[in-house]
Amino acid sequence: MSYNIAVIPGDGIGPEIVREAQKVLDAAGKKYGFELKYTEVLMGGASIDVHGVPLTDEAIATAKASDAVLMGSIGGDAKTSPWYKLAPNLRPEAGLLKIRKELNLFANLRPAYLYEELKEACPLRDDIIGDGFDMMIMRELTGGLYFGERHTTEENGVRKAVDTLSYDENEIRRIAVRGFDIARKRRHKVTSVDKANVLDSSRLWRSVVEDVAKDYPDVTLEHMLVDNCAMQLVRDPKQFDVILTENMFGDILSDEASMVTGSIGMLSSASLNETKFGLYEPSHGSAPDIAGKDLANPIATILSAAMMLRFSLDLDEAADAIEAAVKQVLKDGYRTGDIMSEGCTKVGTVQMGDLIAERV
């Protein structure tokens, strides 16, 4: 079997971590009898440098024609990068927002869990960690404040800026269904996060989620206000199974959750539409300060590639093998700098990729 994969190396550490993910994918392909054909697609700063825009129509067309998209990371250092002098819709991030919308990738899955082997990196106290935690954040990715109508005006010399947060019930229903579906494969609990004591959009969110919950009598639904959730992630992350929330709350809470695990360099993500199609990228950013130095941890991207095999290509066995290889490498004591601890062997980006590919 052969599949077409659009590859977006992106900016910063993107190219080097994607390269290692491809290496591991190819090792899995050899073992499990499939072939991936890669087409490189420019996005973000890399695209601005060549085309003057963060994402071209051709790039979108190539992504659409593929079976799945594998991405590194986009964006540069806001302080020093020339891209940040450009108009907002010409900056690297605009490419990411655009591809999400164009490919209708409304369902963003971000697992956040504690690696037994990396417990020491967790910023929380031992008694809070307990037996560890394992959450899945289901973030709505193509609606809400980040895609609403916005404008800046000036009246009598006073500038005013407006952003709009809107959701209709269909947008809420489809992400809620995804959240409950995944809870069913996990610990059967959904925590829906909103600000229903203030926002109209949150009240609609809550009512639609309650409606969807009726089809899942085996899943427990709990509502939590976003400010409380930001506290609970620190106080007791063990309580969460699936966190279901809208775009902006999901942006903030998923980053908090991944930092709470202490292993942000290890966390993958998948952005899916109604079909099997998806875009896979690490949860972390482009880390321009360490780009090109063989220092970046490629594991989040490698695990994102495993998610791609599972969700978009139905290659579950190969996905399992990659995940097992990552676990084995950790057990064997290899670490990149970000997760290094005493008694372990420190390795670079390329060597980490080699070690995982060998174990697939």
Ligand X SMILES: CC(C)[C@H](C(=O)O)[C@@H](O)C(=O)O
Judged by the rule CB under 6 A, the positions of this chain that interact with ligand X are: 93, 96-97, 197-198, 227, 251
Interface with its own copies includes 197 (CB under 8 A)? Answer: yes
> What is the C-alpha to C-alpha distance for residues 63 and 252, in angstroms, rounded to an integer?
27
- Out of 40, 49, 116, 169, the only residue in the binding site for its own copies (CB under 8 A) is 169
Encoded amino acid at 324, one letter: A
- From the number of C-beta atoms within 10 Å of its C-beta (0-12, 13-18, 19+), residue 33 rates as exposed
Q: Are strands 242-245 and 268-272 parallel, antiparallel or unpaired?
A: unpaired
Contact mark string toward its own copies, 109..128, x via CB under 8 A: -------------xxxx--x
Coil, helix or strand for 112?
Answer: strand
Annotated catalytic residue: which of 195, 238, 320, 354? 195
Interface with its own copies includes 231 (CB under 8 A)? Answer: yes
How many residues at the interface with its own copies, by CB under 8 A? 60
Give whichever of 6 and 118 is closer to its own copies, judged by the CB atom: 118
Interface with its own copies includes 228 (CB under 8 A)? Answer: yes
| Closest CB 198 distance from ligand X, rounded Å | 5
Coil, helix or strand for 276?
Answer: coil
Contact mark string toward its own copies, 129..148, x via CB under 8 A: ----------------xx--
Residue 192, marked binder: no
Coil, helix or strand for 134?
Answer: strand
- Out of 86, 177, 213, 252, the only residue in the binding site for its own copies (CB under 8 A) is 252
| Secondary structure (H, E, C), 192-260 | EEECCCCCHHHHHHHHHHHHHHCCCCCCEEEEEEHHHHHHHHHHCHHHCCEEEECHHHHHHHHHHHHHH
Residue 146: active-site member: yes
CA-to-CA dists, residue 27 to 232, 286, 323, angstroms: 41, 25, 13
| Closest CB 308 distance from its own copies, rounded Å | 24
Interface with its own copies includes 240 (CB under 8 A)? Answer: no
> What is the C-alpha to C-alpha distance for residues 303 and 323, in angstroms, rounded to an integer?
7
Residues noted as catalytic = 146, 195, 227, 251, 255
Which residues define the annotated binding site for NAD(+)?
285-297
Q: Which residues are annotated as a binding site for Mg(2+)?
A: 227, 251, 255
